[in-house]
Amino acid sequence: MSVEEIGGARVPGATHRTAFDEETRARLSADAAQIKARYPQERSALLPLLHLVQSEDGYVSPRGIAFCAAELGLTTAEVSAVATFYTQYKRHPNGDYTVGVCTNTLCAVMGGDAIWEELSDHLGVGHDETTADGSITLERVECNAACDYAPVVMVNWEFFDNQTPDSAREVVDALRQGAPVAPTRGAEHVCTFKEMSRVLAGFSDGRADEGVGAGPATLRGVELARQEGWTAPPFTDEERTREAEETRTPARGVPRSTTPRAAATTPAAATPAPGEEQSSAQRTPTGGRDVSAAQQERKQSSDDAKES
């Protein structure tokens, strides 16, 4: 494993500043074609494409950014703006397993802070740092949406419920030893970060139905309601009437057009009335390009130079 310098620090991981080789690019392009086919506008495929390149390099590398930009006709700056917004996209080499410790309010008071301190000391890393062997990246996470099982730790977004400092340490030790580790709920064993990234890109690994989906604590409210015969109160006639009126009339009180859009034959007829729904894809552009073709080319060249 080579070492890459990120922000002045030396980080373990492969150096991915050169373009993909022809074989890899052809394989990724074939996958990208499947992803883009899911969307009416190709640029909508950017999020899964970022997961795709992350599944290849283990993070969103400069060449991954360039690949996404070329596939979608975007600038590398536009792709980077999205990649840096979401925490699931890593901009430096990630470990084989991302271990996220919830330290939000409920998990914290139930022991999340103690779990974090134990793992940080045990692994010798802090937030968003990776162990020297490249196996574990440790993170603080705000909420895993599993408060009924606090404190919760996640490994590559698989749930490990009701954890303690000791049990969490046992999990990371088993991961570092290469042993199969089973989450509390979900898949039968945790997959690697690259494998999970490919799933998030939209390519099933055939394991969606493995294990337990919702545990007893999550289902307790439903079970109690059934036992006690509790049901939500039905709508009154007045509420049904009001709902029907609100459905027919937009919030501004402007009645919707009753003319079918398919019958519109002139530009004026195709223009929606104020308050009427319309997809942005259907609107006629109201102005010219923001930049000229020459400006766009210079901007792309500058972006490429910064990434190299």
pLDDT in tens, 238-259: 888 888 888 775 544 444 444 4
Q: How much of the chain, in percent, has pLDDT values that exceed 70?
A: 75
Residue 66: the pLDDT is 96
Residue 253: the pLDDT is 46
The secondary structure of the chain in percent helix, strand, coil, rounded to multiples of 5, reads 45, 10, 45
Residue 119: the pLDDT is 98
Distance of CA 10 to the CA centre of its chain: 27
Return the domain boundaries, the chain: 3-83, 97-191+210-216
Taking residue 79's Cβ as centre, other Cβ atoms within 10 Å add up to 27
Pairing status of strand 136-141 against strand 97-102: parallel
pLDDT in tens, 36-77: 999 999 999 999 999 999 999 999 999 999 999 999 999 999
Residue 73: the pLDDT is 95
Residue 248: the pLDDT is 72
Average pLDDT, the chain: 82
100, 112, 180 from 165: Cα distances, Å: 13, 8, 20
Low-confidence ranges of the chain (pLDDT < 50): 1-14, 251-269, 275, 278-281, 283, 285-291
Domain 97-191+210-216: CATH superfamily, name plus number: Glutaredoxin (3.40.30.10)
- Rounded Cα distance between 210 and 297, Å, is 49
Residue 5: the pLDDT is 40
What phi and psi, each to the nearest 5 degrees, are found at residue 138? -100, 135
Contacts of 299 (CB under 8 A, 6+ apart): 75, 77, 291
